[in-house]
Amino acid sequence: MLLVVGNKNYSSWSLRAWLAMKVLGMHFRELRIPLYQPESRRELLQYSPAGKVPCLVDGETHVWDSLAILEYLAERNPALWPSDASLRARARSISAEMHSGFPNLRQHMCMNIRKRHPGKGRRPEVLAEIARIVDIWSECRGPYLFGGFTAADAMYAPVVLRFRTYEVDLPPVCRDYAEAVLALPALQDWMRDAERETEVLPQFELYA
């Protein structure tokens, strides 16, 4: 399998699929296409009909969009969702909520692993979305949201990195969860790769 990703410093969508595959121990090739370059879209369209990352290529099958990729991976690895039907439904619900929601957090607390912006981005609408995430994480069964690592943790891993960049204060149970995610060897590898990247995307360097 081939996984096409963008800049590791900025691409929260890419991280989700990549992290899940690494934690599952799946063997895959990785192709990084830097985003927002003159040839980026042309190169991405060779793999993804949407022209966006991530995109998983498995033989003749192309799967794009991070949540769709996670569902595709779960067909081979059922442990990517909780085994209990009720918990599985909740995990899918909060994953979908993250996938389609939290626009203010995305805008004002962009993922930027290399930077620190303590105290920034705390607009009322952002704080309301952080409060919702705290509510979700507060039910953490430890060390991850549903005990063992699931697709839900892959979906929220970029939020953990955002909270690290903007130094968001968290209650103890949420802080413990964030630290468990940050300690994942796969996430540590992603962060090291991000630190070594040389591209700087101005639109992601701004904060408010």
First to last CA, the chain: 39
Identify the weakest region by mean pLDDT among 54-58, 145-149, 182-186, 201-205.
201-205
What are 136-191's pLDDT values in tens digits?
999 999 999 999 999 999 999 999 999 999 999 999 999 999 999 999 999 999 99
122 lies in some domain: yes
Q: With a cut of 80, say whether residue 206 has pLDDT above it.
A: no
User: Do 17 and 102 sit in the same domain of this protein?
Assistant: no
Angle between helices 66-76 and 85-100 (to 10 degrees): 160
Of 30, 57, 78, the residue at which a domain comes to its end is: 78
User: Do 86 and 187 sit in the same domain of this protein?
Assistant: yes
**How high does pLDDT run on average in the chain?**
96
User: Do 111 and 144 sit in the same domain of this protein?
Assistant: yes
* pLDDT in the model for residue 208: 52
Q: Which residue has the tokens 């990352």?
A: 53
208 lies in some domain: no
Q: Which residue has the tokens 């994953």?
A: 95
Alpha carbon distance 69, 81 (integer Å) = 13
Strands (E), the chain: 2-5, 29-32, 55-58, 61-64
Domain containing 92 — which CATH number?
1.20.1050.10
Domain containing 62 — which CATH number?
3.40.30.10
Task: Give the total number of structural domains in the chain.
Answer: 2
* pLDDT in the model for residue 204: 85
* pLDDT in the model for residue 159: 98
Of 45, 78, 111, the residue at which a domain comes to its end is: 78
Q: What is the mean pLDDT of residues 24-50?
A: 97
User: Do 73 and 112 sit in the same domain of this protein?
Assistant: no
Q: Are 89 and 40 in contact (CB under 8 A)?
A: no
204 lies in some domain: no
User: Do 93 and 74 sit in the same domain of this protein?
Assistant: no
User: Do 31 and 112 sit in the same domain of this protein?
Assistant: no
39 lies in some domain: yes
Q: In what order do the strands lie in the sheet with 2-5?
A: 29-32, 2-5, 55-58, 61-64
Which of 130, 181, 191, 129 has its CA nearest to residue 152? 181
User: Do 157 and 61 sit in the same domain of this protein?
Assistant: no
Q: Identify the burial level of 202 via C-beta atoms within 10 angstroms of its C-beta, where 0-12 means exposed, 13-18 middle and 19 or more buried.
A: exposed
Structural domain range at position 165: 82-191
Which of 74, 64, 70 has its CA nearest to residue 156? 70
User: Do 153 and 65 sit in the same domain of this protein?
Assistant: no
* pLDDT in the model for residue 203: 80
* pLDDT in the model for residue 205: 84
What are 84-125's pLDDT values in tens digits?
999 999 999 999 999 999 999 999 999 999 999 999 999 999
59 lies in some domain: yes
